[in-house]
Every structure is written in structure tokens, then in C-alpha cells.
Amino acid sequence: MQILLTNDDGIESTGIAVLADALAAHGEVTVVAPAEDQSAVGRTLSDRVVVEEHDLGYAVDGTPADCVVAGLGSLRPDADLVVSGCNQGANLGEYTLGRSGTISAAVEATFFDVPAIAVSLYVPGGDIDFREYVAREDEYDEAVRATSHLVTNALGDGIFERADYLNVNAPTSAATDGEHGEMEITYPSEVYQLTAVGDDGDLTLRDHIWQRMADGTIPDPEGTDRRAVFEGRVSVSPLTAPHTTEAHDALSAVAESYGR
């Protein structure tokens, strides 16, 4: 199996290193990842990127989407699978899907007709300062196990005939006491709790769901990605990438009235 591995935390991050080591047991791994942290850039695409050789593979002066296009378009065009991660920090809920660089790399792969898996690590809040925190290698153990299991079993079983990519979120190994946790098929939560608070011209944008998770309470129902990870299970959401359209009479009437 030819595996293209990328991320949005940057090629020097711990998460991509542990996945590169683990996935080497399942195929030939080519790492094409951003030279610097490119978190939350979505599917931003560059006109031109600089690619340099790195101990892990190739470092790209660009975004995760750039890395996938560079990888599938030139550096590893015969890839059977794209894996994006492991991101430090969970990617949970519908509203993160277009914002996350980790997920965006997986989405970009689907337009090359290559199946993809996006993998993220849920780091519980509390006293942790996410701006300074760096997860240890062993904290990724459950994410690595889950990714290896999916890579081994997903491609040959028709899973990607119904889904374009999988969004995987795993708890830290501490949340499962170092044992194999459970894996649950989920759907992205619809809960949205972003606010903009402050005076005109000086607003603080805040996602209150993270504080609620740190406090031990979340509003998400059973079956959602956030509920599963919060309760210590690996969340796997099978998703499709192309936007869908649905014609209906009300919109058709608006179109037909145009120019009258």
C-alpha cells in the first residue's frame, strides 16, 4: 500500500512522527507536510510552493491542501490512501469541517478520487494552556492504534464506496488507561456555541463548548462525535466531500420569475 501522510501542525510535530512510524508497518509511507504550523487554514490553496527534502519526507512551504495537491499531483501520484494527522486537538462538530486544515487535507484527497482518513487527538482541557502544551508521544497511543486498525481494514471492505473520507477523533491514552478503547461510528455534532462579546471594534470570539467539556458537561446527544470522545471512545465519522444540490419548487419559482 502506498500511503501519503500529511498534517496541519507541521512536519516537525509529534503527531505526524508517531503516525509515520506506525503506518510504515502497513505500507510505504511518503510524508508531504507543511514546513510550519498551518492549523485552521481550511482548504486555502497556493499558486506556487517550495518543497524541500526532510528527514521524514518532504516539507512544503504551504498549506495542508497544498501538500495533498503536491503529493498526489507529483510526489506520490500512485498513493492508495491519504492520512492526515495526527492533529493535536480534536476536530469535532459540523462547524469545524471547513475550518480544520487536518480535515481539509482529507477533503482535498477525495477530489483526486483517493480515500482519506483525518485523525485528531482530543486533549482534555482544564489547567492546560493549549498555546504552550505539547502532547507526549504516548498520549497518541490510542489514536495510532485506531488509525492502524482503519488502514488495515477499511480499504478492502467497501467502506469508501459509501464514504469519501473518515474523520477520526481519539482520546488520549490516559483516558483509556493505556488499554484499547472502544470505537464508535458517529456523526458530526450540530451543537454550535461560538459567540462574539465585547465593545464595538474590539470583540472576543469564543467557543464555549471547550469550557463545557473541561467542566465535564456537554450538550451533545448520543451518536455524535463529541459525545463519543468525551466519554473515552474513538469517534469515526464517515463523510462525503462534494457539496450536494437539491432542486425544489420554491427555488424553481424564483428562477422562473427572473426577468419578468
CA 87 to chain centroid: 7
What pLDDT, on the 0 to 100 scale, is given for residue 124? 84
What pLDDT, on the 0 to 100 scale, is given for residue 177? 62
Which residues have a Cβ under 8 Å from the Cβ of 260 and sit 6 or more positions away? none
What pLDDT, on the 0 to 100 scale, is given for residue 24? 97
Torsion angle (degrees, nearest 10) of CA 200, 205, 208, 211:
-110
pTM of the model: 0.93
Mean pLDDT by 10 residues, the chain (260 residues): 97 98 97 96 96 97 98 98 96 94 98 97 76 87 96 88 96 70 94 88 88 86 95 96 84 87
Q: What is the Cα–Cα distance from 40 to 121, expressed in whole angstroms?
A: 15
Q: What is the Cα–Cα distance from 30 to 159, expressed in whole angstroms?
A: 23
CA 213 to chain centroid: 19
What pLDDT, on the 0 to 100 scale, is given for residue 216? 85
